[in-house]
Structure 1
């Protein structure tokens, strides 16, 4: 099955997770369900608990972390483009919807998202999948997108941060130094570190590490072995890659390759 609106979208279906998720972010939205157990989420300097039958929404670029305890969950990572398209179809203007509630206790939303996930995992008819997706996401947007920002795929509107992030993404396969980033921004290393962390909530080193882990997913799914992926991305060895992958996603790259976790 090839569903164009969900092309390259990651889906996760995790039956048991107990551990810590280190501070990170995604360039996409994160939309998921808690089916059982509990997840203690640290998000935007707030601590919120996700229990059975709740939904979790994270906006692109938002820093988050957490702790799981016997957590059974399903996630998917829709692009900014996809969510903005549905918003535009509802309100007739191109905006990026922003969700102010991180954990949502709404059984109707849970059921709509669950129907969508089940149709994906059961490989249902394309029209049914799209119908379920639009029903779930339009309900989410109409009821919980209480603010918007201008449609701009940049991580941050500040020119200096935007340029730095573009530079990092273009150079992710190379060994980027703090000197490189400071020179690219026409700032001293001290001022660059301060500006970057003030606007993103993390250091350049943390940001680069997260981007490398994101890139590793694509390499792994294309069939590259872990040692080669680690070498290409500048990790010391495959153990270094595995440790950092698990810190962000709560499972190993080998778990990621299982059938329950995939990219359309």
Structure 2
């Protein structure tokens, strides 16, 4: 299958938001996002596997992803598929969730990775149009955001109970310094477990084994550094990658763009 690829970052005046329009046959490896994502399938079919199961999305379907959710993605059939996506910083969704809960302390997440509902699709389509409008209007933005999120956000389901607090501490060692490769014995010691016990527990908790998790943290750090103007070679070294080509391969598998193309798209 020929690999067609067009992934564009669209100017977006809505705070804490990034807009993407894609038409691609690329297959994405297992990865995570740091933001909430909500969008629409426009053409073709897309399949994805995550902790929420294996799903398929078709034109008109709403598609969502939660921060830290491990998932992949591939086209269905031998043609490319197109979609549009908005990625929101968690603080934006937290504010909206609190408002939707009418002052409660609701922590919200998207309950379903695919929603097949015409009314909700229209609300997400309007949200995308308002967010990418060249004449931004804060009242329209707030209205569109709450209208789209209201039916989709659900209380976060507890999934990490039963894991020792020290596992979270070991994960924090990687979160705080992704460029440093902490050995498995050190992580296991931090958690007070054998290496095998830690490996199993960590994978159950995050959806990824420790090394794959660390690679994701490095990729997200690299994207942050690129947004700040750092050159790809410098970002690769700062994030602990063996070289720039190694970072580039993983960056493309995660975001669909090479680091240089990503920085160019940012303008």
Which of these residues, 129, 153, 156, is aligned with residue 148 of structure 1? 156
Residue 182 of structure 1 corresponds to: 188
Q: Write out aligned runs for 1:87-236 (5 A).
A: 87-91=97-101, 92-128=103-139, 131-132=140-141, 134-149=142-157, 156=160, 158=163, 159-236=165-242
Is residue 2:34 matched to residue 1:23?
no
What secondary structure does 1:33 align onto?
strand
Select 1:82's aligned residue among 92, 97, 110: 92
Instruction: Report the Cα distance in structure 1 between the residues aligned to 2:246 and 2:24, rounded to whole angstroms.
Output: 21
Residues matched between the structures, number: 251
2-side partners of 1:10 and 1:2: how far apart?
6
Give 1:214 deviation, angstroms: 0.5
Deviation at 1:230, TM superposition (A): 1.0
Structure 1 residue ranges without an equivalent (≥5): none
Q: Is the 1:95–1:149 contact (alpha carbons within 8 Å) kept by the matching residues of 2?
A: no
Q: Return the alpha-carbon distance in structure 2 between the equivalents of residues 188 and 168 of structure 1.
A: 18
String of CA shifts for 1:6-29, please: whole Å, max 9, x gaps: 33x433222x21121111222332
CA pair 167-156 structure 1, distance change in 2 beyond 3 A = farther
Could you tell me whether the CA contact under 8 Å between 1:97 and 1:141 is conserved in 2? no
Q: 1:237-248 to 2 correspondence within 5 Å?
A: 237-248=243-254
The yes-or-no answer on 1:6 pairing with 2:12 is no
Question: Which stretches of structure 1, 4 residues or more, deviate above 6 A after TM superposition?
Answer: none
CA distance in 2, matches of 1:100, 1:106: 14
Give matches, 1:20-59, under 5 Å. Answer: 20-44=27-51, 46-59=53-66
Cα distance in 1, alignment partners of residues 210 and 175 from structure 2:
12
Deviation, structure 1 residue 84: 2.2
Distance apart, 1:141 and its partner CA: 3.7
Q: CA deviation at 1:90?
A: 2.2
Q: For CA contacts below 8 A with separation 6 or more, give which structure has more relative contact order.
A: 1
Question: Residues 141 and 76 from structure 1, CA distance in 2 versus in 1: closer, same or farther, beyond 3 angstroms?
Answer: closer
Deviations 1:74-124 (A, max 9, x none): 222223322122121122211212332211122332232223323333332
Match of 1:257 among 253, 260, 263: 263
Normalised TM-score (structure 2): 0.83
Report how far residue 209 of structure 1 moved.
Answer: 0.5
How far the C-alpha of 1:236 sits from its partner, in A, is 1.5
Q: Distance in 1 between matches of 2:107 and 2:74?
A: 29
Aligned-residue CA RMSD (Å): 2.6
Once residues 249 and 160 of structure 1 are traced to their aligned partners in structure 2, the CA distance between those partners, rounded to angstroms, is: 31
